[in-house]
Amino acid sequence: MFWLILFSSVFVFGLAILAKTFASKTAKLDGRHVVITGGSSGIGKSMAIQAAQMGASVTIMARNKEKLDEARTEIQGHLKANMKVETISVDLSTSYDAVKSAMQQAEGKCGPVFMLVNSAGSSVSEAFVDLKPADFPKMMEMNYYSAVYATKAVVDSMVGQQAGRIVFLSSQAGQIGLFGFTAYSGAKFALRGMAEALQMELRPHNIFVTVSFPPDTDTPGFQKELQAGKPKETVLISETAGLFKADEVARTILTDSLHGKFMSYVGLDGWMLASITAGMSQASSLVEVITQVLLMGILRLVGLFYLSSFDKIVLRCKQEKDAGKQKSS
Ligand X SMILES: NC(=O)c1ccc[n+]([C@@H]2O[C@H](COP(=O)([O-])OP(=O)(O)OC[C@H]3O[C@@H](n4cnc5c(N)ncnc54)[C@H](OP(=O)(O)O)[C@@H]3O)[C@@H](O)[C@H]2O)c1
Binding-site ranges for ligand X (CB under 6 A): 37-38, 40-44, 62-64, 67, 91-93, 119-123, 142-143, 146, 169, 171, 214, 216-217, 219-222
* Helix or strand holding residue 61 (H, E): strand 57-62
Task: Tell me the three-class secondary structure of 142-195, residue by residue.
Answer: HHHHHHHHHHHHHHHHHHHHCCEEEEEECCHHHCCCCCCCHHHHHHHHHHHHHH
Which whole-number Å values give the CA distances from 242 to 222, 227, 251, in the listed order? 13, 18, 18
Give me the least distance between CB of 148 and ligand X, in Å please: 13
Name the DSSP letter for residue 55. T
| Cβ distance to ligand X smaller for residue 114 or 265 | 265
Q: How far is the CB of 195 from ligand X (least distance, A)?
A: 13
In the complex with ligand X, which residue's Cβ is closer, 63 or 205? 63
Minimum distance from residue 29 beta carbon to ligand X (Å)? 20
Taking the C-alpha atoms of residue 269 and residue 208, their distance in angstroms, rounded to an integer, is 25
Nearer to ligand X, 77 or 220 (CB): 220
Helix/strand/coil percentages in the chain, nearest 5: 60, 10, 25
Q: Which is nearer to ligand X, 75 or 169 (CB)?
A: 169
Inter-residue contact 282 to 199 (CB < 8 Å): yes
The bridge status of strand 263-264 relative to strand 244-245 is: unpaired
Sign of CA dihedral 272, 273, 276, 281: negative
> Of 123 and 252, which has the nearer Cβ to ligand X?
123
**Residues belonging to the active site:** 170, 184, 188
The distance of closest approach from Cβ of residue 120 to ligand X in the complex, given in angstroms and rounded to an integer, is: 4
Cβ at position 73, least distance to ligand X in Å: 15
